[in-house]
Amino acid sequence: MFIVLYADDILLRAPSVCMLEKLVRICEHYLDQIDIVINVKNRAVCALAQEMIFLCAAIRTSNRVAIPWVNELRYLGVFIVQSTNFKCSLTNAKRSFYRSANAIFGKVGHIAPEEATLQLICSKCVPVLIYGLEACPLLKSDLSSLDFIINCFFIKLFRTSSIDVVEQCQYYFNFPLPSVRLAKHVKKFEDKLSACNNLLCKINIR
């Protein structure tokens, strides 16, 4: 599975730099036939091997424009980082959560009831934090870091430093942590894959 398509977003995967350059040329050829122009500034290459950045020459388009090597690549809102294994970055998701949560807290603060504030956080901010992560391989440390963000927000909202109080508030307000939400999302994601008739989807179920 070398070419992944979703709407107008195209992701190319290849076992070698030479093959990747061939795929780029093939895509350019067919897109040119349907009069679609590729924005070269939005294209980049992310290697899944640390040493590839230094050993490989730049991949060039048919008109000899170089596609830069990068340490991080965004696809469908998920940030894939340079690593020897497939790995996603949570930095941008965390930053987006803080931005939206601080905007809400700055408007309502301690004026609105806690239940209303948490409902806004649950519907507007948490989806930003865990978007697309059900398809990403996450370590326990990654899940802990996501839970830590929510715990910190509860500490700020309820003005407490006790993790026991935070856990009780999460229980009574029915506010599951991101790790719990993601476990349900992963189960739902895998169920959809198993029900899909596409052979590739069934093979790639974890």
Range of the domain at 61: 3-81
Distance CA 202, CA 186 (A): 15
Same-domain status, 137 and 169: yes
Give the model's pLDDT for residue 206: 47
Give the model's pLDDT for residue 125: 95
Answer for the pair 202, 196: CB distance below 8 angstroms, yes or no. yes
Total of domains in the chain: 2
Q: How far out from the chain centre does Cα 135 lie? A: 8
Determine phi and psi for 12, rounding to 5 degrees.
-105, 130
Same-domain status, 172 and 139: yes
To the question of pTM greater than 0.85 for the whole model, the response is no
Same-domain status, 190 and 95: yes
Regions of the chain with pLDDT less than 50 = 206
CA distances from 125 to 103, 118, 128 (A): 10, 10, 5
